[in-house]
Chain A
Amino acid sequence: MKNLFLTWIMAVVLCFYSAVCHAEYGRVPKSEFDPETIKIDEEKYLGSPVEKNYVFINEKGREFTLGDMLDKPLILVLSYYACDGVCSAVNASLMNALSGIGLKPGRDYRALTVSFDRNDGLESLAMFKKHLQIPERLGAAWELAVAKNYKDMESLTRGLGYNFFWSTRDRIFFHPNALVFLSPGGRVVRYLYTAGMSNKDVELSILDASRDQAGKSNITDLGSAFLIACYSYNFKEGKYSLNYPLFIGAGSLLSGVALLGISMVVMARQGRNQKKNKKQMANDK
C-alpha cells in the first residue's frame, strides 16, 4: 500500500515538475526590475493594524483622518496621480468591479484612493479625479486624497508592506497593483491584486473585511452570509475559490440522511409485501 502511494506521489510530482520546467523555459526577464521586490508579504501583514490618525485632504480641500473612513470596511487604493498608466487602471478596475456588485456604497463599504507620490498635490488630484469619472452612486463613498503630511504616507505604506520605487529609466513607479481591504477596526484583511480580479473577488473581500476581529459581522442579509461561507481565499492565485470541503461535507451529510430514508422506505415496502404473502398463504390454507 505504501509503495503504491509512493508511486502515486512520484507520478504527481513528476507531472508537476515537468509543467513547471515547461513554464520556466522561455521566460526572459523584460527589464532589470525584479517583481519579487514589490511583492507584498501578505502572511506578514494580514491582521496588522493601521494608524487611524493620518490626515488626508480631498480635492475640495476637506481634511479628514483615516479613522473617519473606518466606520465601514474600507477599500484602500495606493496610487499616484501623475500617471496615466497602471494606476488609473487600478482605480478603473475597482470602479468597474464596484459597479458590478450588489453591495451598497456607503452602507456596506467605503473606498479611499491616496497617493504615495510626494509630488502629487491638490491640482494633480483634481485632474486625476476628473479623468477617472467616478459614477455618482460610488462617488459619495469614494474619496480621492493626498496626505497632509507626506511622512504619514511613508509610514502607512511601510505598515502595509507596500513597496514602491521610482524607475528613472522607465520614468514610472513600480508598485504592486493591489487593493487593500481594511476592516472597520482598521486591520488589514485582504490584499487583492487587480490582475485577473473578478467582481466576485471584490465582493467577497468586502464581506470578509466587514467582519471585525471577533468575527462579528455587520452583514445582515443571509445571502451574503451564505456567500462568504461558500468561498475561501486562495493565496497562491490571489482570488477566491469555492470552499469544496464544505460542499463535500454537506453532500455526505445529505447522503447519510438519504441512506436512512431510502432504506426505511425499501424496508417498509418489503415488510408490507411479506405480510401480504403471509396472509395469502394463510388464506390458501
Chain B
Amino acid sequence: MSAHVKSGFKEWIFTTDHKRIGILYLVGSITAFCLSGIMAVLIRLELWSLGPTITDDPTTYNVWLYMHGAVMILGFQIPALTGWFANYLAPLQIGAKDVAFPRLNAFSLWLFWAGVVLALLTFVVPDPPDVMWTGYPPYSVVTSGNTALYSFTVLVMGFSSIAGGINLIATIIFMRAPGMAWGKLNMFIWTVLAAFTIQLIFVPVLGSAVTMVLFDKYLGATFFNPGMGGDVLIYQNLFWFYSHPAVYVILLPGIGMIFEIVATFSRNRIFNFKVAVYGGVGVLVLITGEVWVHHLYTSGLADWLRVFQMVTTLMISVPVGILMISLVGTLRGGAIDYKTPMLYGVGFIFVFLVGGLTGIPLAMASLDLAVHDTHFVVAHFHFVMAVSMTFAIMGGTYYLFPKMSGRMYSETLGRTGFWLFLIGVFVTFGTMFFVGLDGMPRRYYDYQMFPQLENLHKVQTIGTMIIGLAVITILISWIHGLVAGEKAPSNPWGSRSLEWDTTSPPGPGNFGGRSIVVPDDWDPYCYDKPGRTL
C-alpha cells in the first residue's frame, strides 16, 4: 500500500473503502468456511462407521449439520460472492472511485460480522439450534433447541445483503465511469446486478417466514400450527420461494467470476457474450421465481402444481446450457495458460457439469419421488452449488490475490491445493450418489438400516480428509503469498479488463487520481489489439 495510506487496526475497522470492506468480507467468509468445514469433517467422521462413532448424541450431530448448512450458505458463499467479490471487483471494473454509499457498505459489512457472531453463539448457548438450515415448522416450533438463534442469524444476514444490494445496484447504475456504456460492461457486472436484483426481491419473503416461526415458538402465535388454523405447508413454500432464488444469488456472481477467469487466461473474447447475458443471466432471473416446488415434490402439494413446476424446472436447462456453451466456447481459439485460477475455472466446468446433469433426474418429479431427501440430493447440490461455487470463490481469490495484496502466491502450492480439492470432491461426492441411490436418507446420524453401505461411507470420509488437506494447502499458499510472495506487477495475468489498469493494490480512489474516461471502442475482452492504459 502506498506510504501515505495508514493501515492500522483502527483504519481497517472504520474503513469505508470498498476494497478494504471487500477484504474484510473475505476474511469473515473464509473464517465461516473453515468453521463449517470443520463441521463437515465432524459429520463425515460420525458417519465413518455404523452406530455411534465420535458422538453418541444424535442432537450433537444435528447441531453440527445445522451449523454446516446454515453457515456455509449464509456465512460463506453469499458473503464471499456478493460481499467480497462484488465489493472489491465491481467498482474497479466500472471505473468508479468507490461504491455509491460507502458508509452503508461498512454498515452491511458489520451486520454480516454480527451474523457470523450469532452463528458462532451456537457453540455457546445451552440448547443450540437443531433445525437444519431449512428450519421447517412444526419441528422448529416444538424443538427444545434455540430456534431464535436461527431466525436472527437469517434476519441479520438478510438485512446485511439488502443493504449491500441497494448499494451495488446503485453503484453499477450510476457510478460507471464516463463512457462506460451498458454494452461495455464485464460479464461479472451483469451477474452481480442480476444476483442483487433477485436478492432484493426475495429476501423479505424468507425474512417473514422465519419471523413467523419466531412468533409461533416464543409468542404463542399459530401461523404454522395446523390444529389452530395454521398451515404446515405454507412455510415450506415461502422458504423455497426465497431459497431457490438464493441458489442463483450464489450461482450468478460465481459464474460471472469464472467467466472473467476463463476469458483472461484464454486471452479470448467471451463466446456469444450478448446471448449469455440476455439468454443466460437474464432468463435465469426471470425463471427463478417459478421453480420452487421442485423442492416440494414429495410434500403432498396439489399434483397440478408439482407437475407444472416440473416443466419450469426442466426449462432451467436452457439458460444454464447457454451459459455453459459460452464458457466452453471461450476456450475455443484461445491461448490458455493453466495458472491456478484457470485450473479452478476449468475445474468448475466439470464439477458443474456433473451437478447439472444429475439435476435432470431430480427435476423429473416421478424420479424425485425415490431420491428426494437422500444423499443423492446432497451429492447433487454439493456438485452444482457447494463445490462449484467454492471453486469460483477459490479461483477468484487466487485471481484477485496479486491485485488485493500486491504479492504473488506460490503456483506450486496453489496447484497442489487445486488437485487435492478436485480429487477429494470426486471421491467424496461421487460416492455419495451411489449411497443415495441405495436409499440412504439425508440428515441421518446413523445408518443401522443400511449396514451394506458402510464401506462407501468410509470412502466418503477419506475423500473429505483429502478436501481438508486441500483447504489447508490453500490457506498456507495464501499466507505464504502474503508474507513471502514476490511483488506483484499491476497486471500479472495480462488481462484487458479495467480492474488491472491500476497499481497492485490500488490506492484510495482506485486509479491513482486518474479520472477514467472510457473510449468508444472499449471492450474488456479485447485481446486482438494491443493493451492500453486509460
Contact = CB atoms under 8 A, between A and B. Distances in A.
Nearest to A267: B170
Given A16-B220, A245-B223, A252 B208 contact: yes
Given A214-B303, A236-B228, A263-B166, 18 more contacts: A1-B148, A1-B149, A2-B148, A214-B302, A235-B228, A237-B229, A241-B229, A245-B230, A245-B235, A249-B241, A253-B205, A255-B204, A256-B201, A256-B202, A256-B203, A259-B166, A267-B100, A270-B174
A2 B126 CA distance: 9
28 contacts: A2-B125, A2-B148, A5-B148, A214-B302, A217-B302, A232-B230, A234-B228, A235-B228, A243-B231, A245-B223, A245-B238, A248-B223, A249-B205, A249-B238, A252-B204, A256-B205, A257-B201, A259-B200, A260-B200, A260-B201, A263-B170, A263-B200, A264-B169, A264-B173, A267-B169, A267-B174, A271-B173, A271-B174
B218 interface: yes
B301 interface: yes
B209 interface: yes
Contacts of A61: none
Interface string B216-228: 0011100110111
A130 interface: no
B162 interface: yes
A102 B318 CA distance: 45
Max chain B CB contacts within 10 Å: which of A16, A236, A244, A245?
A245
A249 B234 contact: yes
Interface in B109-142: 125-127
A217 B304 CA distance: 9
Contacts of B223: 244-245, 248
A53 B218 CA distance: 50
Contact of A235 (B100, B125, B197, B226): B226
A9 interface: yes
A8 interface: yes
Contacts of B89: none
Majority secondary structure of chain A interface residues (helix, strand, loop or mixed)? helix
Interface in A227-275: 232-237, 240-241, 243-246, 248-249, 251-253, 255-257, 259-260, 263-264, 267-268, 270-271
B45 interface: no
Interface of A: 1-2, 5, 8-9, 12, 16, 211, 214-217, 232-237, 240-241, 243-246, 248-249, 251-253, 255-257, 259-260, 263-264, 267-268, 270-271
Contacts of A236: 227-229
A267 B229 CA distance: 43
Contacts of B231: 232, 243, 245-246
Nearest to A242: B229
A268 B148 CA distance: 38
Contacts of A244: 223
Given A263-B170, A267-B173, A249 B209 contact: yes
A211 B125 CA distance: 46
B281 interface: no
Q: Considering the complex of A and B, which 4 residue pairs feature the smallest CB-CB distances, nearest first?
A: A234-B229, A215-B302, A252-B204, A241-B229
Nearest to A13: B220
A236 B166 CA distance: 44
B263 interface: no
A249 B224 CA distance: 13
A248 B207 contact: no
B236 to A, nearest CB: 11
Given A211-B302, A235-B228, A243-B231, A248 B219 contact: no
Contacts of A271: 173-174
Nearest to A251: B208
A248 B238 CA distance: 10
B212 interface: yes
Interface string B290-317: 0000000000011111000000000000
Contacts of A252: 204-205, 207-208
A248 B218 contact: no
Given A243-B234, A251-B208, A267-B173, A9 B218 contact: yes
Contact of A245 (B149, B173, B209): B209
B173 A233 contact: no
Interface string B152-172: 000000000010001001100
Interface in B476-531: none
Contacts of A255: 204
A257 B125 CA distance: 37
A219 B185 CA distance: 50
A8 B235 CA distance: 24
B59 interface: no
Contacts of B204: 252-253, 255-256, 259
Interface string B167-197: 0011001100000000000000000000001
Given A235-B228, A237-B229, A253-B202, A245 B234 contact: yes
B103 to A, nearest CB: 15
B303 A215 contact: yes
A215 B304 contact: yes
B410 interface: no
Given A248-B212, A256-B202, A216 B303 contact: yes
B146 interface: yes
Contacts of B126: 2
Nearest to B207: A252
Nearest to B162: A259
A241 B228 CA distance: 9
A217 B302 CA distance: 9
Given A252-B204, A271-B174, A260 B197 contact: yes
Nearest to A248: B208
A253 B220 CA distance: 25
Nearest to B100: A267
A243 B126 CA distance: 34
A8 B216 CA distance: 12
Contacts of A257: 201
A256 B204 CA distance: 6
Contacts of B125: 2
A9 B218 CA distance: 6
B63 to A, nearest CB: 15
Contact of B229 (A217, A232, A253, A268): A232
B295 to A, nearest CB: 16
A248 B223 CA distance: 10
A231 to B, nearest CB: 9
Contacts of B301: 215
Contacts of A260: 169, 197, 200-201
Given A245-B230, A259-B162, A12 B205 contact: no
Contacts of B166: 259, 263
B339 to A, nearest CB: 38
